[in-house]
Amino acid sequence: MLSSNVLRPLRVLSSSVIYVGTFSKVLGPGFRVGFVVAPGWLRGSLERLEQHDFSTSTLTQLVVYELLRMGVISEVLGKARSTYKSKLSRLIEALNNYMPGSLQFNPSCGFYALVRLGVNAERLLRTAVKFGLTYVPASRFFIGKGPVDSARLSIGVIKAEDIEDGVRLLSRLVKDQY
């Protein structure tokens, strides 16, 4: 969603595909408003199901509607794409400088990078948190046994100017484990 070269959704291939999305990543997690694009024959069932949703504020839904109607979301999306592209570039550059070879693949978009630390990521996290550094051990994303020496780094919340310092600190903590 935040890359300008995104893959087209499966919905474009078939009108029988149900497409589910969210505005939370673009507008902010507090909005907690999503959307569904579905075949017409499902509309009545989905509307009845939505009547049981008591957790999403009607006011919030109206705000999102107005932002869509006014075209504000397109503007916000453009700014978000630019911001996150810049932050991801900073992360990749910092990883290449301080932890060369650690990237398990070179992401072109998104909020995350998967890195190989070479040490137990769960154990290192306990130390990293004491320094204000957090990440998610990659093993938490596997049903079975996942790689214990890898981590998912996020650019979602961190300030762009803090990325290099964060990677430098992570690199130092990894080296201290050897």
Q: Are 88 and 155 in contact (CB under 8 A)?
A: yes
Please write the tens of the pLDDT for every residue from 85-116.
999 999 999 999 999 999 998 888 888 999 99
pLDDT of residue 168: 98
CA atoms within 13 A of residue 69's CA, in its CB half-sphere: 6
**pLDDT for 11:** 81
- The residues that bridge with 113 in the sheet, in sequence order, are 153
User: Is it the case that residue 132 has pLDDT exceeding 90?
Assistant: yes
* Residue ranges per structural domain of the chain: 10-70, 82-177
**Tens of pLDDT along 52-80?**
777 778 888 899 999 999 988 888 888 88
**H/E element, 154:** strand 150-154
Q: What is the pTM of this model?
A: 0.75
Please provide the CATH number assigned to the domain covering 82-177: 3.90.1150.10
